[in-house]
């Protein structure tokens, strides 16, 4: 070992800390750079190994018309195509356990799968070269029966595993056209390199727009003759190249281009195939049709002629019948005539007879009356006689007459006598009346003269007395005269009275003689009157008897003549009757004859009539039969015509369809169109971006560490350096010692760092990504990319050497003489702070020294500030990333998205169905804030092309209600964004991706069944950009939506909030899923868990960052302290000699370091904020926006943790300070 | 009792397998107010004596006392206090803090002790009133050493120790510094011990301790020390 080598070894041994510091920082810098740089390539090579191992397709060809077997061989024949595998794929909504998800169903070549064997982690060997996209069977077995399937193993969906069922509900196209079965038993769990990303297996128009599961079914589960939906192919030689590399892209691109060049030819051929096949079928069908049509027409013609014959027959019959009817009618009329005549005659005779009869009866009646009168007369006569006889008591009429005549005479005599007596009685009565009047007058006159008497007798007496008296007294004559007159009158009256009394007594006596006893003249008159009357009646009686006799005699004569007349009449009537009877019987005979004849004629007519009727009914039924036949014929003809027309139209339509079959669009896709592979590739490149930035800091720090360290080393060796120079060593030779020293440290550090971190970092990163990708981990040792390793190592060592060279050369510039002298101490300088007198004066000396020192050594200041700020920045990135990730959940769910339940109905649902769902939700009582929206899966882009990304377009039914579900707010200004009918609010990630601001135009594209963009996109003017973290949304007002789709939306998605616990929620979900029309029920909790899982990747990165930050801080601070102490040993020793206590010494040194650390810390927070933003933006995927604010607590953590690192290093370095010997202060400044 | 006493002081260093007896039975005394020169060739143990006397190192055996306090038995903490309050040290290479001005360097010391003298007065005493705001790099070697002496004096120490105070200075400057130290002793009444290999300095000392092979070989008392300005070497 040369002396030179020895010096180097000794210098290393003598300053191991310094050596290790350089080694460490170079190791960290190179290792980080190399490790991070290799993450991407390692990920890609792992993927490539998987892709090659499973013969993943390089090229996928799809056609709008599908493919047939001919197309498969046509594509196989294209130059550069190695192997091909056709496949049938259909996207469906499937019920898997408790969930209803979008799933991709593909056909599987079961035989090939069974024949293949898994070999290692990422290789499947098969003898069938055309078995592509080979599948790992993780569990169970391959499907054998048509209703068996194998299901994705990489992601649990609805807890479905081997032995469970998957039910296909409906598809993006008509499932029945593709699948024979609707329910599949899961017999195995598989993993396919075609679906490397477990977060999403691809996009679709169904459900949430994301394929949540894939499954493979045997060919037998598919409908016969179903066209292949795609052809997978490999490009020859591509498997030797790394997937995604330029060489690979070129190799595949060449073949793709060739395929695309042949696209027209392929399309034409496919069109010809499809048309030919269809045309053949159609032609056959047309022939069949024509034959059938002719048959039908002939049949119809036959029927028609038959019908016509029948018609003619019917017409004849009708005519005959008409004639018969006419004849019959004639006969009937004639019969009626004869009948009328006969009856007229007969009736006339009968009338005559009847007249005679009635006359006879009349006369008979008269006769009978006459007889009765006669008999009455006879009887009256007899009675009269017997009465008379009885009256008279005579025995005969003669005798009676004599008696009666004697009675008359007697009566006449009595009457005469009586009448005279009666006259006498009458006179008496008159006398009496005159008498009584005169008496009364007298009495009255007397009473007036004062003489009151009751009778004339009395009055007479009194008058006599009075006269006498007067006379006696001698009264004057005048007085006595009146009295005398009155007395005279009274005397007269008394005399009249006596006369009258005498007459009366005479009368009464006479009467008494006659037997009439009367009391007075009055009674006598009465009695006399009655007797007179009696006598007169006796006379009339007798007279009557006489008259009666006369009458009797007259009636007896009359009776006799009547009797004679009667007898004559009776005789005449009897004769009349006799005549009548004979006439009647004659007439009756005639009538019977006539009736017999008429009846015969009638019978004949009736017969004819019956015949006619039956003929008529025959005709009617015949006609009816004919009519129904005719109707049948017409109907049949019409039907036949319609059917034929329909058939013809169908044939024509089919023909038109065939003619219209357009040349298919053939799309040649490669792996970059596989969402999983693309995402994986993008993630790996994201790591590349981060790898480009992070290590830069480490290199910078490494350079500064090397520079300061080597500068210090050279300074330490100042005199040695001068000696060498004086001894004649060249600059290069002298520098070589330090270059070798630094180079050695750098090389060892770089080698160790690269070896260790190029394993550790890719392992951490890939195993993080293994959470969401099926790409298996590389087995250890991971490949080390020599180029990256060399570049990184070279850079690390180069930087160290450069720093060393700079340090050495700057020292060697001095002459040997000056070098031999102790280096003039760097002059103390006043610093800016001193100009602020009040502050400066208050500082203690150690503070003053600290302040001045800090600015004395610029390199160290830079190294420390940069190193520490790097440490803080890394910590801040770590904590910031953590914040960013948690903010996704914390900011999205609650502050922005208020609903936690999404119920989507399928496309066919109508408003009523939705209402039912809404009321079902309401009825649970656990659900609030229910609103309805229309959700559409679309893609968004901008006019100048570029990538398009999946967006969820949401159109609320009621714009004012949307705030119940979502809050629109500007993230930075926190100002709410208004939402109305015309609003177009996009979420922030969209605005960032396309640089869109309010007023800019965004294009919304429709997509087809397999998620390809259709059409030119609908332009919408953005009215607001809302804060949002998960997913990309475009919220449209109804008016804005109408611009895109004129049809009124059903608003078939329901947002709601539930307060219920998991169990109740599961119940609600189950009830909803049981409805046929509900396609998805999503609870945000599930989504949140999904994202947490997805994003847990980044948490590991946080740990890595914290560890490396610690390492960085340690190296930098250790180095700084080391240099500081080493450089100021004399100062420290002097201070100790001056009597500074330990603590005072620590403070004197560490205060400076702490101050630098704090400055670095503050810079680091600023730098870290920038770096965090960079990392966040780089690490973000299209689907998610990370939180953009670092929480204050993270700043605090980063700041404090850096200080803690410093404290830790100071604690360690205290020992070094303690070890500084005071004796050092006595040494010379060499 | 003398102001400073060294009684059978030994100091042994372990250098690998070899035991080096730097000081081997040292005995001497110094009276208060004396200017003492400890002189001897290189490796004689004079620096070790200085270290022990200055509280920078402790004796392996024997007793050292200053003003009646035993130093030899002190722990690290006590020694620090001892250095802080009782000792003023003047180094060969001044050992000024480069980032502090002359005045600040003086204050640095005076600030930490119990009864300091006013810094600018001390600085004026050493003749640097006009340079007090200059940084060490702006001062000449002699001036720097004056600052160093001022720093030592400002602590108002019981004992000023100077280690080859002129070692890094030219002759004239060295003489001035020597003069300053002598003056410190004479007019300030301080006890000053100068460690040097220069025998010429013995002329100005009140007491000269010759050190040889770890022992006080000879102790002289100089009844009429010469003035520093007349010393020649």
- pLDDT > 70 fraction of chain A, expressed in percent and rounded: 96
- Chain B residue whose CA is closest to A831: B99
Q: Tens digits of per-residue pLDDT, A302-354?
A: 888 888 888 898 888 888 888 888 888 888 888 888 888 888 888 888 888 88
Mean pLDDT of A520-525: 76
Chain B's closest residue to A848, CA to CA, is: B100
Please state the domain count of chain B: 1
Q: Which residues of B52-66 are buried (b: 16+ CB within 10 A; e: fewer)?
A: bbbbbbbbbebebbb
* Chain B residues near residue A849 by CB distance under 8 angstroms: 97, 99-100
Contact predicate B67/B158, CB 8 Å:
yes
Closest chain B residue to the Cα of A1128, Cα to Cα: B97
User: If interface means Cβ-Cβ distance under 8 Å, which residues of chain B face chain A?
Assistant: 47, 50-51, 54, 56-57, 77, 80-85, 87, 89, 91-93, 95, 97-101, 104, 107-109, 111-113, 135-138, 151, 155, 163, 168
Over residues B32-42, the mean pLDDT reads 89
Task: Provide the Cα torsion B166, B168, B171, B172; round to 10°.
Answer: -80
Q: What is the rounded average pLDDT of the residues A1091-1104? A: 70
Residue A1035 is predicted with a pLDDT of: 92
Among the partner-chain residues A827, A845, A1142, the one whose CB lies closest to the CB of B137 is A827
Q: Give A832's contacts (C-beta < 8 A, 6+ positions apart).
A: none
Measured in angstroms, the CA of A864 and the nearest CA of chain B are apart by 20
Domain of residue B202, residue span: 4-230
Task: List residues bridging with A897 in a β-sheet.
Answer: A893, A966
The predicted model gives A888-905 an average pLDDT of: 84
CB B146 within 8 A of CB B127: yes
Residues in chain B with CB shorter than 8 Å from the CB of A855 are none
| Confidence bin at A257 (pLDDT 50/70/90) | confident
Contact B91 A1134 (CB under 8 A): yes
Look at residue B113 in the predicted model and tell me its pLDDT.
81
Contacts of B163 in chain A (CB under 8 A): 1226
Listed ranges A425-439, A724-738, A1161-1175; the one with the highest mean pLDDT: A1161-1175
Buried b (16+ CB within 10 A) or exposed e, A1019-1043: ebebbbbbbbbbbbbbbbbbebbbe
What gap in Å lies between CA A815 and CA B218, rounded to an integer? 46
pLDDT grade for A1112, boundaries at 50, 70 and 90: confident
Chain-wide mean pLDDT for chain A? 83
Q: CA-to-CA distance for A877 and A881, rounded, in angstroms?
A: 6
3-state secondary structure of A827: coil
Q: What is the C-alpha separation between B172 and B184, in angstroms, rounded?
A: 18
Separation between Cα atoms, residue A941 and residue A947, nearest integer Å: 7
Q: Minimal Cα distance from B155: which residue of A?
A: A1138
Q: How confident is the model at residue B210 (pLDDT cuts 50, 70, 90)?
A: very high
CB A248 within 8 A of CB A242: yes
Q: Which chain A residue has its CA at the smallest distance from B163's CA?
A: A1226
Nearest CA in chain A to B85: A1139
A148: region left, alpha or beta (phi > 0 left; psi from -120 to 50 alpha) = beta
Cβ neighbours of B93 in A, within 8 Å: 1130, 1228-1229
The b-or-e profile of B175-185 (16+ CB within 10 A means b, else e) is bbbbbbbbbbb
Q: Do A1139 and B85 touch (CB under 8 A)?
A: yes
**Which chain B residues contact residue A847 at CB under 8 A?**
none
Q: How confident is the model at residue A824 (pLDDT cuts 50, 70, 90)?
A: low
Strands A984-987 and A945-956: unpaired
Per-residue model confidence (pLDDT) at position A985 = 92
DSSP B64-114: EEETTEE-TT--HHHHHHHHHHHEEEE-TT----TTS-HHHHHHHHHTTSS
SS3 state at A130: coil
Name which of A844, A852, A1222 is nearest B56 (Cβ-Cβ).
A1222
Question: In 3D, which of A871, A874, A867, A876 has the Cα closest to residue A700?
Answer: A867
Contact state of B84 with A1130 under an 8 Å Cβ cutoff:
no
In this complex, which of B82, B91, B151 lies closest to A1226 when CB atoms are compared?
A: B91
Helix (H, G, I), strand (E, B) or coil at A498: helix
Q: Specify the higher pLDDT residue, A730 or A953.
A: A953
Model pLDDT for residues A172-203, shown as the tens digit of each residue = 777 888 888 889 999 999 888 888 887 778 77
Contact between chains at B80 and A1141 (C-beta distance less than 8 A): yes
Q: How confident is the model at residue A565 (pLDDT cuts 50, 70, 90)?
A: confident
Q: Binning pLDDT at 50, 70 and 90, where does residue A268 land?
A: confident
On the question of pLDDT at A242 being above 80, the answer is: yes
In this predicted structure, what is the pLDDT of residue B51?
Answer: 86
**CB distance A848–B99 less than 8 Å?**
yes
Lowest mean pLDDT among A9-23, A819-833, B107-121, B155-169: A819-833
Three-state secondary structure string covering A994-1027: HCCCCCCEEEEEEECCCCCEEEEEEEEECCEEEC
Dist. CA A364–CA A480, nearest whole Å: 104
pLDDT of res. A825: 56
* Mean pLDDT of the region A1094-1121: 77
Residue B195: which CATH number? 3.40.50.300
The DSSP string of A342-397 is HHHHHHHHHHHHHHHHHHHHHHHHHHHHHHHHHHHHHHHHHHHHHHHHHHHT-SSH
pLDDT tens, B114-154? 888 888 888 888 888 888 888 888 888 888 888 988 888 88
Note the ipTM here: 0.91
C-alpha span between A693 and A1017 (Å, rounded): 38
Asked whether A887 and A1186 are in contact (CB, 8 A), the reply is yes
Asked whether the beta carbons of residue A848 and residue B100 sit closer than 8 angstroms, the reply is yes
pLDDT of B131 reads 87
Q: B208 falls in which pLDDT band (50, 70, 90)?
A: very high
Nearest CA-CA distance, residue A1123 and chain B, Å: 17
**Is the confidence at residue A1230, as pLDDT, over 60?**
no
Mutate to test the interface with B, among A1139, A1140, A1220, A1225 (most CBs of B within 10 A): A1139
**Inter-chain CB proximity A844 and B83 less than 8 Å:** no
pLDDT in tens, A4-56: 778 778 878 877 878 888 888 888 888 888 888 888 888 888 888 888 888 88
- Residue predicted with more confidence, A150 or A1104: A150
pTM of the model: 0.62
Summarised one tens digit per residue, pLDDT across range A943-999 is: 876 778 888 899 998 888 888 889 999 888 888 998 888 889 999 888 888 888 888
- Which positions in chain A touch B135 (Cβ < 8 Å)? 827-829
pLDDT of residue A1090: 66
What are A's interface residues with B at a Cβ cutoff of 8 A? 824-829, 844-845, 848-849, 852-853, 856, 1130-1131, 1133-1134, 1136-1142, 1144, 1222-1223, 1225-1226, 1228-1229
Q: Compute the average pLDDT of residues A911-917.
A: 83
Chain A residues whose beta carbon lies within 8 Å of the beta carbon of residue B51: 1222-1223, 1226
* B112–A1137 C-beta distance less than 8 A: no
State the smallest CA–CA distance between residue B94 and chain A in angstroms.
9
CA distance A1124 to chain B (A): 14
CB pairs below 8 Å between A and B: how many? Answer: 97
Nearest chain B residue to A849 by CA: give it: B99
Q: Scanning every residue of chain A, which has its alpha carbon at the shortest distance from the alpha carbon of B80?
A: A1139
CA distance A405 to A403: 5
**3-class state of residue A1138 by DSSP:** coil
> Tell me, what's the pLDDT at A711?
80
* Interval A652-668 mean pLDDT: 81
pLDDT surpasses 60 at A798 = yes
Q: Where are the alpha helices (DSSP H) in A983-1128?
A: 988-994, 1038-1044, 1062-1074, 1084-1127
pLDDT on residue A208 = 65
Is the confidence at residue A1229, as pLDDT, over 80?
Answer: no
The pLDDT-based confidence of A383 (bands split at 50, 70, 90) is confident
Torsion of CA A442, A444, A447, A451, to 10 degrees: 20
> What is the bridge-based pairing of β-strands A148-152 and A213-218?
antiparallel
* Contact (CB, 8 A) for A68 and A216: no
Residues of B in contact with A1223 (CB under 8 A): 51, 56-57
Residue A897 has a pLDDT of: 87
pLDDT at site A1140: 86
Contact list in B for residue A854 (CB cut-off 8 A) is none
């Amino acid at each position: 070992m040369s002396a030179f080598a020895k010096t180097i070894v000794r210098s290393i041994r003598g300053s191991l800390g310094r050596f290790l510091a350089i080694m460490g920082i170079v190791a960290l810098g190179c290792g980080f750079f190399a490790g991070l740089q290799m993450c991407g390539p390692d990920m890609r090579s792992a993927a490539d190994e998987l892709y090659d191992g499973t013969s993943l397709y390089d090229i996928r060809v799809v056609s709008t018309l599908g493919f047939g077997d001919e197309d498969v061989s046509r594509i196989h024949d294209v130059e550069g195509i190695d192997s091909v595998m056709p496949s049938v794929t259909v996207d469906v909504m499937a019920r898997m356990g408790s969930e209803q998800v979008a799933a991709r169903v593909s056909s599987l070549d079961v035989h090939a799968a069974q024949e293949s064997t898994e070999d290692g982690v990422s290789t499947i060997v098969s003898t069938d070269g055309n078995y592509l996209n080979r599948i790992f069977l993780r569990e169970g077995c391959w499907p054998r029966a048509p209703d068996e399937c194998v299901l994705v193993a990489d992601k649990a969906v609805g807890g479905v595993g081997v032995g469970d069922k998957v039910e296909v509900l409906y598809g993006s196209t008509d499932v029945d056209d593709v699948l024979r079965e609707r329910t599949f038993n899961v017999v195995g769990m598989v993993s396919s390199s075609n679906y490397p990303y477990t977060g999403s297996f691809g996009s679709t128009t169904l459900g949430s727009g994301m394929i949540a599961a894939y499954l493979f079914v045997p060919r037998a589960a598919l409908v016969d003759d179903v066209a292949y939906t795609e052809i997978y192919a490999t490009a020859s030689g591509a498997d030797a190249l790394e997937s995604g590399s330029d060489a690979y892209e070129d190799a595949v691109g060449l073949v793709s281009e060739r395929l695309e060049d042949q696209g027209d030819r392929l399309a034409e051929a496919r069109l010809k195939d499809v048309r030919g096949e269809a045309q053949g079928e159609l032609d056959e069908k047309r022939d069949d049709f024509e034959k059938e049509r002719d048959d039908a027409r002939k049949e119809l013609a036959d029927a028609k002629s038959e019908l016509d014959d029948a018609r003619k027959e019917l017409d004849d019959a009708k005519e005959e019948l008409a004639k018969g009817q006419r004849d019959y009618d004639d006969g009937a009329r004639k019969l009626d005539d004869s009948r009328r005549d006969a009856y007229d005659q007969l009736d006339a005779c009968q009338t005559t007879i009847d007249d005679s009869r009635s006359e006879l009866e009349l006369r008979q009646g008269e006769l009978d009356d006459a007889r009765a009168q006669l008999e009455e007369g006879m009887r009256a006569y007899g009675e009269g006689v017997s009465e008379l006889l009885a009256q008279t008591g005579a025995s005969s009429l003669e005798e009676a007459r004599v008696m009666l005549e004697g009675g008359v005479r007697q009566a006449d005599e009595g009457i005469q006598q009586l009448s005279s007596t009666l006259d006498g009685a009458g006179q008496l009565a008159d006398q009496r009346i005159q008498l009584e009047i005169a008496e009364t007058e007298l009495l009255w006159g007397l009473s007036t003269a004062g003489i009151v008497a009751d009778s004339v007798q009395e009055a007479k007496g009194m008058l006599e007395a009075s006269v006498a008296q007067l006379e006696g007294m001698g009264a004057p004559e005048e007085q006595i005269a009146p009295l005398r007159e009155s007395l005279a009158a009274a005397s007269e009256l008394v005399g009249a009275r006596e006369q009258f009394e005498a007459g009366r007594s005479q009368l009464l006596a006479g009467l008494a003689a006659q037997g009439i006893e009367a009391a007075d003249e009055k009674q006598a008159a009465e009695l006399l009157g009655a007797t007179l009357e009696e006598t007169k009646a006796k006379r009339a009686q007798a007279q009557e008897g006489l008259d009666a006799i006369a009458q009797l005699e007259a009636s007896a004569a009359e009776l006799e003549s009547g009797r004679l007349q009667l007898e004559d009449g009776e005789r005449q009537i009897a004769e009349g009757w006799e005549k009548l009877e004979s006439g009647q019987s004659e007439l009756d005979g005639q009538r019977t004859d006539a009736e017999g004849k008429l009846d015969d004629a009638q019978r004949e007519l009736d017969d004819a009539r019956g015949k006619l009727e039956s003929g008529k009914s025959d005709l009617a039924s015949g006609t009816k039969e004919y009519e129904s036949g005719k109707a049948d014929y017409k109907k049949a003809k019409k039907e036949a015509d319609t059917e034929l027309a329909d058939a013809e139209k169908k044939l024509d339509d089919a023909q038109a369809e065939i003619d219209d079959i357009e040349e298919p669009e053939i799309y040649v896709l490669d792996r970059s169109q596989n969402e999983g592979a693309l995402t994986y590739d993008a993630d790996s490149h994201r790591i590349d971006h981060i790898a480009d930035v992070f290590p830069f800091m480490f290199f910078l720090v490494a350079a500064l560490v090397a520079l300061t360290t080597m500068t210090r080393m050279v300074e330490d060796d100042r005199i040695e350096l001068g000696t060498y120079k004086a001894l004649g060593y060249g600059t290069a030779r002298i520098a070589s010692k330090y270059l070798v020293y630094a180079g050695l440290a750098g090389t060892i550090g770089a080698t160790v760092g690269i070896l260790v971190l190029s394993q550790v970092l890719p392992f951490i990163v890939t195993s993080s990504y293994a959470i969401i990708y099926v790409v298996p981990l590389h087995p250890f040792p991971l490949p080390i990319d020599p180029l990256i390793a060399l570049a990184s190592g070279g850079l690390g060592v180069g930087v160290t050497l450069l720093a060393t060279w700079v340090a050495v050369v700057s020292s060697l510039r001095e002459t040997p003489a000056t070098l031999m002298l102790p280096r003039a101490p760097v002059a103390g300088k006043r610093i800016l702070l001193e100009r602020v007198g009040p502050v400066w004066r208050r500082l203690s000396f150690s503070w003053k020294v600290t302040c001045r020192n800090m600015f004395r050594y610029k390199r160290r200041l830079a190294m420390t500030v940069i190193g520490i700020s790097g440490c803080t920045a890394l910590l801040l990135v770590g904590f910031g990333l953590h914040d960013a990730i948690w903010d996704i959940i914390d900011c999205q769910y609650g502050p922005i998205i208020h609903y936690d339940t999404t119920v989507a109905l399928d496309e066919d649902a109508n408003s009523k169905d939705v209402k039912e769902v809404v009321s079902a939700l309401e009825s649970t009582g656990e659900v609030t804030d229910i609103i309805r929206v229309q959700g559409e899966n679309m893609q968004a882009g901008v006019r100048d092309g570029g990538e398009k990304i999946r967006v969820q377009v949401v159109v609320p039914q009621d714009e004012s209600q949307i705030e119940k579900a979502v809050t629109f707010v500007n993230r930075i200004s926190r100002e709410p964004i208004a939402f109305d009918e015309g609003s177009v609010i996009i979420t922030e990630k969209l605005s960032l991706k396309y640089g869109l601001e309010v007023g800019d135009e965004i294009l919304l594209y429709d997509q087809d069944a397999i998620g390809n963009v259709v059409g030119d996109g609908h332009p919408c003017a953005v009215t607001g950009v809302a804060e949002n973290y998960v997913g990309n949304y475009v919220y449209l007002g109804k008016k804005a939506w109408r611009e895109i789709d004129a049809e009124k939306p059903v608003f078939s998605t329901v947002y709601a909030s539930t307060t219920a616990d998991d169990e109740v929620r599961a119940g609600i979900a189950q009830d909803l899923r049981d409805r046929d029309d509900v396609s998805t029920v999503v609870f945000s909790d599930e989504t949140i868990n999904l994202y947490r899982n997805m994003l847990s990747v980044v948490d590991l990165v946080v740990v890595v960052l914290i560890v490396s930050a610690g390492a960085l801080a340690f190296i930098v601070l250790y180095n700084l302290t080391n240099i500081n102490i080493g450089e100021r040993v004399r100062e420290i020793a002097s201070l100790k000699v001056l009597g500074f206590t330990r603590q005072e010494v620590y403070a004197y040194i560490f205060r400076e370091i702490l101050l630098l650390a704090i400055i670095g810390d503050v810079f680091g927070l600023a730098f870290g904020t920038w770096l965090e933003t960079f990392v966040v933006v780089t690490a973000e995927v299209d689907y998610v926006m990370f939180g953009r604010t670092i929480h204050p607590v993270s700043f605090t953590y980063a700041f404090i943790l850096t200080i803690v690192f410093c404290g830790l290093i100071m604690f360690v370095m205290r020992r070094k300070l303690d070890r500084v010997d005071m004796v050092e202060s006595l040494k010379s400044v060499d | 009792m003398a102001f400073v006493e060294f009684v059978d002081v030994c100091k042994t260093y372990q250098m690998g397998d070899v035991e080096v007896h730097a000081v081997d039975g040292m005995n001497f005394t110094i009276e208060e107010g004396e200017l003492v020169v400890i002189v001897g060739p290189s490796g004689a143990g004079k620096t070790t004596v200085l270290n022990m006397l200055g509280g920078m190192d402790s004796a392996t055996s024997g007793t050292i006392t200053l003003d009646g306090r035993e130093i030899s038995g002190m722990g690290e903490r006590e020694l620090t206090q001892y250095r802080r309050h009782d000792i003023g040290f003047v180094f060969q290479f001044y050992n000024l803090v480069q980032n502090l001005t002359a005045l600040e360097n003086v204050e640095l010391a005076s600030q930490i002790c119990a009864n300091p003298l006013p810094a600018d007065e001390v600085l004026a005493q050493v003749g640097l009133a006009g340079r007090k705001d200059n940084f060490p790099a702006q001062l000449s070697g002699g001036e720097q050493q004056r600052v160093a002496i001022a720093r030592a004096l400002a602590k108002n120490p019981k004992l000023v120790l100077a280690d080859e105070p002129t070692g890094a200075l030219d002759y004239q400057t060295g003489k001035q510094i020597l003069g300053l130290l002598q003056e410190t002793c004479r007019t300030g009444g301080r006890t000053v011990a100068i460690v040097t290999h220069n025998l010429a300095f013995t002329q100005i000392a009140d007491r000269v301790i010759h050190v040889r092979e770890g022992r006080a070989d000879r102790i002289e008392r100089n009844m009429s020390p010469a003035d520093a300005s007349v010393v020649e070497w």
